[in-house]
Homo-oligomer: A and B are copies of this chain.
Amino acid sequence: MKIGIVDTTFSRVNMGAMAVDEIRRHASVAVERITVPGVKDLPVACKKMIEERACDIVMALGMPGGVDKDKMCAHEASQGLIKAQLMTNTHIIEVFVHEDEAKNENELAWLAERRTREHAVNAVKLVLYPEALVKEAGTGQRQGFDDAGPARR
């Protein structure tokens, strides 16, 4: 079992290091890490992690900026990540933190860390404990900010 981690130099938080750390806490698996310039470079990098380095799942970590052009980049990257998954029949967990989701740098760093760590746990569950996710179905899980919880009737 091998988990791939790909992050960016564009991000203002070292999300890759956090992902590696969190995965190590939950599973004894091999971990490979690389870094690319920005989110648009993630899709091919993740696909190469799967096809050239035999990763069983990959985390794609990025921090898109807050202006319209950045939103479009994130959108294009997301489409590419979905395509890469379909071409490889392998999950790639996208962890994007948009700079404008946080009120200040401090919250941004907090949010990036928490979302990265919570998604690292999801990645481990997806490949090692899929039945754990079925138990959480429909419970309004969120990564980063608080969970929404199930809708009360």
> Which residue numbers of A lie inside 8 Å of B, CB to CB?
7-17, 33-37, 40-41, 43-45, 47-48, 51-52, 65, 69, 71-73, 75-87, 89-94, 98, 105-106, 108-110, 112, 119, 122, 126, 130, 133-134, 136-143, 148-153
Q: Note all chain B residues with C-beta closer than 8 A to A41.
A: 91, 93, 126
Instruction: Look across to chain B and name the residue whose beta carbon is closest to the beta carbon of A121.
Output: B37
Give the distance to chain B from A93, nearest Cβ to Cβ, in Å.
7
Judge whether A137 and B9 touch: CB under 8 Å. yes
Q: In the bound complex, how far is the Cα of B81 from the Cα of A86, in angstroms?
A: 9
Give the copy number. 5
Which of B8, B44, B76, B152 makes the CB contact (< 8 A) with A75?
B76
Judge whether A8 and B82 touch: CB under 8 Å. no
Give the distance to chain B from A145, nearest Cβ to Cβ, in Å.
11
Q: Note all chain B residues with C-beta closer than 8 A to A112.
A: 151
Q: Note all chain B residues with C-beta closer than 8 A to A69.
A: 98
21 contacting pairs across A/B (C-beta < 8 A): A7-B137, A9-B133, A9-B138, A11-B138, A12-B151, A14-B137, A15-B137, A17-B137, A33-B134, A36-B91, A37-B119, A40-B81, A44-B92, A48-B89, A71-B72, A72-B78, A80-B83, A80-B85, A80-B86, A83-B83, A105-B151
